[in-house]
Amino acid sequence: MIAACLGCVLAAVTPAAAESVANDAAPSVGLNNPGPGLFFIVVAVVVLMALMLRSQPPQLGSTYRKWRAERKIRRVLRNCGNDVIHDFVLPGAFGGMTPIDSALLTKGGIICILTKHYDGTIFGKPDDPQWLNIDGTVRRNFLNPMIQNASRVRALQQIVPGVPVRNLVVFTGNVHFAADRDKNVIQLEQLPSYVAMFRFGPSQVEDWDASWLSIKSAALDNSQHRNGFLARPGFL
Protein backbone atom coordinates (compact mmCIF):
# COMPACT_ATOMS: atom_id res chain seq x y z
CA MET A 1 0.00 0.00 0.00
CA ILE A 2 2.79 2.39 0.96
CA ALA A 3 4.82 1.44 -2.11
CA ALA A 4 1.79 2.16 -4.27
CA CYS A 5 1.36 5.59 -2.66
CA LEU A 6 5.04 6.35 -3.23
CA GLY A 7 4.75 5.25 -6.85
CA CYS A 8 1.76 7.51 -7.43
CA VAL A 9 3.46 10.50 -5.86
CA LEU A 10 6.69 9.96 -7.76
CA ALA A 11 4.73 9.50 -10.99
CA ALA A 12 3.17 12.90 -10.43
CA VAL A 13 6.41 14.58 -9.43
CA THR A 14 8.75 13.11 -12.07
CA PRO A 15 7.05 14.67 -15.15
CA ALA A 16 7.07 18.05 -13.43
CA ALA A 17 10.76 17.71 -12.62
CA ALA A 18 11.54 16.56 -16.16
CA GLU A 19 9.63 19.51 -17.63
CA SER A 20 11.55 21.87 -15.37
CA VAL A 21 14.86 20.46 -16.59
CA ALA A 22 13.75 20.62 -20.23
CA ASN A 23 12.69 24.24 -19.99
CA ASP A 24 15.94 25.40 -18.37
CA ALA A 25 18.93 25.09 -20.65
CA ALA A 26 21.32 25.97 -17.85
CA PRO A 27 21.05 24.69 -14.29
CA SER A 28 19.76 27.16 -11.74
CA VAL A 29 19.66 27.27 -7.98
CA GLY A 30 17.24 28.38 -5.27
CA LEU A 31 13.55 28.85 -5.99
CA ASN A 32 14.04 28.74 -9.73
CA ASN A 33 14.82 25.00 -9.62
CA PRO A 34 12.47 23.37 -7.06
CA GLY A 35 12.62 19.87 -8.60
CA PRO A 36 15.26 18.19 -6.36
CA GLY A 37 13.98 19.93 -3.23
CA LEU A 38 10.40 18.93 -4.00
CA PHE A 39 11.50 15.34 -4.56
CA PHE A 40 13.14 15.09 -1.13
CA ILE A 41 10.10 16.69 0.51
CA VAL A 42 7.82 14.11 -1.11
CA VAL A 43 10.08 11.25 0.04
CA ALA A 44 10.07 12.62 3.58
CA VAL A 45 6.26 12.85 3.56
CA VAL A 46 5.90 9.26 2.30
CA VAL A 47 8.29 7.96 4.97
CA LEU A 48 6.29 9.82 7.62
CA MET A 49 3.06 8.33 6.29
CA ALA A 50 4.64 4.87 6.39
CA LEU A 51 5.49 5.30 10.07
CA MET A 52 2.00 6.58 10.88
CA LEU A 53 0.22 3.77 9.01
CA ARG A 54 2.46 1.01 10.25
CA SER A 55 0.14 0.08 13.10
CA GLN A 56 -3.10 0.59 11.17
CA PRO A 57 -3.41 -2.30 8.63
CA PRO A 58 -4.47 -4.99 11.18
CA GLN A 59 -7.22 -2.71 12.51
CA LEU A 60 -8.33 -1.71 9.04
CA GLY A 61 -8.29 -5.36 7.95
CA SER A 62 -10.38 -6.41 10.95
CA THR A 63 -12.91 -3.66 10.29
CA TYR A 64 -13.17 -4.66 6.63
CA ARG A 65 -13.66 -8.36 7.48
CA LYS A 66 -16.37 -7.44 9.98
CA TRP A 67 -18.09 -5.26 7.39
CA ARG A 68 -18.01 -8.09 4.82
CA ALA A 69 -19.31 -10.62 7.35
CA GLU A 70 -22.22 -8.39 8.34
CA ARG A 71 -23.10 -7.86 4.68
CA LYS A 72 -23.10 -11.63 4.12
CA ILE A 73 -25.30 -12.25 7.16
CA ARG A 74 -27.77 -9.64 5.92
CA ARG A 75 -27.77 -11.19 2.45
CA VAL A 76 -28.44 -14.70 3.82
CA LEU A 77 -31.26 -13.47 6.03
CA ARG A 78 -32.73 -11.34 3.24
CA ASN A 79 -32.97 -14.49 1.09
CA CYS A 80 -34.91 -16.14 3.91
CA GLY A 81 -37.74 -13.59 3.72
CA ASN A 82 -38.64 -9.98 4.26
CA ASP A 83 -39.46 -10.33 7.95
CA VAL A 84 -36.03 -9.42 9.31
CA ILE A 85 -34.79 -6.38 11.27
CA HIS A 86 -31.14 -5.49 11.84
CA ASP A 87 -29.35 -3.36 14.42
CA PHE A 88 -32.21 -2.09 16.53
CA VAL A 89 -33.04 -1.44 20.19
CA LEU A 90 -35.88 -2.75 22.37
CA PRO A 91 -36.97 -1.99 25.92
CA GLY A 92 -35.10 -4.41 28.20
CA ALA A 93 -36.90 -7.15 30.13
CA PHE A 94 -35.59 -5.70 33.41
CA GLY A 95 -35.60 -2.02 32.51
CA GLY A 96 -33.32 0.05 30.33
CA MET A 97 -32.76 -0.71 26.65
CA THR A 98 -31.34 -3.75 24.86
CA PRO A 99 -29.53 -3.65 21.48
CA ILE A 100 -30.26 -6.52 19.08
CA ASP A 101 -28.12 -7.43 16.08
CA SER A 102 -30.77 -9.20 13.99
CA ALA A 103 -34.21 -10.72 14.44
CA LEU A 104 -35.83 -13.00 11.87
CA LEU A 105 -39.45 -14.19 11.88
CA THR A 106 -39.90 -17.79 10.68
CA LYS A 107 -42.66 -20.39 10.85
CA GLY A 108 -40.94 -21.84 13.91
CA GLY A 109 -40.76 -18.52 15.74
CA ILE A 110 -38.31 -15.64 15.96
CA ILE A 111 -34.56 -16.16 15.70
CA CYS A 112 -32.64 -13.62 17.78
CA ILE A 113 -29.14 -13.43 16.30
CA LEU A 114 -25.99 -12.18 17.98
CA THR A 115 -22.89 -11.95 15.76
CA LYS A 116 -19.31 -12.27 16.97
CA HIS A 117 -16.34 -11.38 14.76
CA TYR A 118 -13.21 -13.30 15.76
CA ASP A 119 -10.32 -15.22 14.25
CA GLY A 120 -8.29 -17.94 15.96
CA THR A 121 -9.44 -20.40 18.63
CA ILE A 122 -12.46 -20.06 20.92
CA PHE A 123 -12.35 -21.66 24.38
CA GLY A 124 -15.56 -21.86 26.39
CA LYS A 125 -18.32 -24.15 27.57
CA PRO A 126 -22.06 -23.36 27.51
CA ASP A 127 -22.13 -22.70 31.27
CA ASP A 128 -18.90 -20.69 31.49
CA PRO A 129 -19.58 -17.02 32.30
CA GLN A 130 -16.68 -15.93 30.07
CA TRP A 131 -15.06 -17.35 26.98
CA LEU A 132 -11.52 -16.92 25.69
CA ASN A 133 -10.29 -16.10 22.20
CA ILE A 134 -6.65 -16.72 21.26
CA ASP A 135 -5.55 -15.32 17.92
CA GLY A 136 -1.80 -15.69 17.55
CA THR A 137 -0.29 -13.71 20.42
CA VAL A 138 -3.55 -11.90 21.18
CA ARG A 139 -5.68 -13.18 24.07
CA ARG A 140 -9.07 -11.67 24.86
CA ASN A 141 -11.82 -12.65 27.29
CA PHE A 142 -15.43 -11.94 26.42
CA LEU A 143 -18.83 -12.59 27.94
CA ASN A 144 -20.38 -15.95 27.08
CA PRO A 145 -22.39 -14.90 23.99
CA MET A 146 -25.26 -17.25 24.81
CA ILE A 147 -25.65 -15.51 28.17
CA GLN A 148 -25.25 -12.12 26.51
CA ASN A 149 -27.92 -12.88 23.94
CA ALA A 150 -30.31 -14.32 26.54
CA SER A 151 -31.22 -10.80 27.68
CA ARG A 152 -32.03 -9.91 24.09
CA VAL A 153 -34.20 -13.01 23.76
CA ARG A 154 -36.11 -11.98 26.88
CA ALA A 155 -36.64 -8.49 25.45
CA LEU A 156 -38.25 -10.02 22.34
CA GLN A 157 -40.33 -12.45 24.42
CA GLN A 158 -41.64 -9.48 26.37
CA ILE A 159 -42.97 -7.95 23.13
CA VAL A 160 -44.48 -11.19 21.71
CA PRO A 161 -45.01 -13.52 24.70
CA GLY A 162 -46.85 -16.14 22.66
CA VAL A 163 -44.11 -16.62 20.05
CA PRO A 164 -41.05 -18.88 20.54
CA VAL A 165 -37.74 -16.97 20.39
CA ARG A 166 -34.50 -18.81 19.54
CA ASN A 167 -31.14 -17.77 20.95
CA LEU A 168 -28.61 -17.96 18.10
CA VAL A 169 -24.95 -16.88 18.12
CA VAL A 170 -23.13 -16.65 14.78
CA PHE A 171 -19.32 -16.50 14.68
CA THR A 172 -17.70 -15.01 11.61
CA GLY A 173 -14.06 -15.09 10.64
CA ASN A 174 -11.61 -17.99 10.59
CA VAL A 175 -12.38 -19.56 13.97
CA HIS A 176 -12.43 -23.03 15.43
CA PHE A 177 -13.68 -24.21 18.79
CA ALA A 178 -11.51 -26.02 21.30
CA ALA A 179 -14.48 -27.90 22.77
CA ASP A 180 -17.94 -29.03 21.75
CA ARG A 181 -20.28 -26.09 21.48
CA ASP A 182 -23.99 -25.59 21.91
CA LYS A 183 -26.12 -26.35 18.85
CA ASN A 184 -27.19 -22.71 18.82
CA VAL A 185 -23.59 -21.49 18.45
CA ILE A 186 -22.71 -21.74 14.78
CA GLN A 187 -20.35 -20.36 12.16
CA LEU A 188 -21.40 -18.09 9.35
CA GLU A 189 -21.47 -20.79 6.67
CA GLN A 190 -23.95 -22.81 8.77
CA LEU A 191 -26.49 -19.98 8.97
CA PRO A 192 -28.60 -20.89 5.89
CA SER A 193 -29.12 -24.51 7.01
CA TYR A 194 -29.92 -23.42 10.58
CA VAL A 195 -32.56 -20.95 9.42
CA ALA A 196 -34.03 -23.54 7.04
CA MET A 197 -34.93 -25.81 9.98
CA PHE A 198 -37.34 -23.18 11.30
CA ARG A 199 -38.31 -21.64 8.00
CA PHE A 200 -39.68 -24.91 6.58
CA GLY A 201 -40.64 -26.60 9.84
CA PRO A 202 -44.05 -26.71 11.51
CA SER A 203 -45.68 -23.37 12.11
CA GLN A 204 -45.68 -22.11 15.70
CA VAL A 205 -46.79 -18.55 14.96
CA GLU A 206 -50.57 -18.03 14.96
CA ASP A 207 -50.69 -14.45 13.71
CA TRP A 208 -47.59 -13.52 11.71
CA ASP A 209 -48.64 -9.99 10.87
CA ALA A 210 -49.60 -9.06 14.42
CA SER A 211 -46.38 -10.53 15.89
CA TRP A 212 -44.13 -8.75 13.45
CA LEU A 213 -46.02 -5.47 13.72
CA SER A 214 -45.59 -5.59 17.52
CA ILE A 215 -41.82 -5.94 17.20
CA LYS A 216 -41.48 -3.28 14.51
CA SER A 217 -43.57 -0.88 16.56
CA ALA A 218 -41.42 -1.40 19.66
CA ALA A 219 -38.08 -1.30 17.83
CA LEU A 220 -36.09 1.92 18.09
CA ASP A 221 -33.70 3.01 15.37
CA ASN A 222 -32.17 6.06 16.97
CA SER A 223 -28.44 5.76 16.16
CA GLN A 224 -27.30 8.20 18.82
CA HIS A 225 -29.30 6.44 21.53
CA ARG A 226 -28.22 3.01 20.31
CA ASN A 227 -24.52 3.84 20.15
CA GLY A 228 -24.58 4.90 23.77
CA PHE A 229 -25.51 1.37 24.78
CA LEU A 230 -23.22 -0.34 22.30
CA ALA A 231 -20.31 1.56 23.83
CA ARG A 232 -20.88 -0.07 27.22
CA PRO A 233 -18.70 -3.08 28.16
CA GLY A 234 -20.61 -6.32 27.76
CA PHE A 235 -22.82 -5.04 24.94
CA LEU A 236 -20.17 -5.35 22.21
- Is residue 6 scored above 60 in pLDDT? no
pLDDT tens digits for 53-64? 454 445 555 677
Distance separating alpha carbons of residues 185 and 169, to the nearest angstrom: 5
User: For position 96, what pLDDT does the model report?
Assistant: 83
Q: How many C-beta neighbours within 10 Å does residue 149 have?
A: 24
**Cα angle value 129/133/138 (rounded, 5°):** 135
Q: What Cα–Cα distance (Å) separates residue 93 from each residue in 14, 35, 109, 152?
A: 65, 68, 19, 8
Residues in contact with 214: Cβ distance below 8 Å, sequence separation at least 6, in sequence order: 159, 160
Distance separating alpha carbons of residues 176 and 121, to the nearest angstrom: 5
3-state secondary structure of 131: strand
The residues spanned by each domain of the chain are 2-53, 66-230
User: For position 17, what pLDDT does the model report?
Assistant: 47
DSSP structural state of residue 32: G
DSSP structural state of residue 95: B
Mean pLDDT (whole number) for 58-75: 74
Q: What percent of the chain has pLDDT over 90?
A: 40
- 209 confidence band (pLDDT: 50, 70, 90): confident
Instruction: Say which residue, 63 or 226, is predicted with more confidence.
Output: 63
Strand locations in the chain (E): 84-91, 97-106, 109-117, 120-123, 130-135, 138-143, 165-172, 175-177, 185-187
Highest mean pLDDT among 16-20, 34-38, 48-52, 147-151: 147-151
Q: Minimum mean pLDDT among 28-32, 50-54, 127-131: which range?
A: 28-32
- 155 confidence band (pLDDT: 50, 70, 90): very high
3-state secondary structure of 65: helix
User: For position 73, what pLDDT does the model report?
Assistant: 86
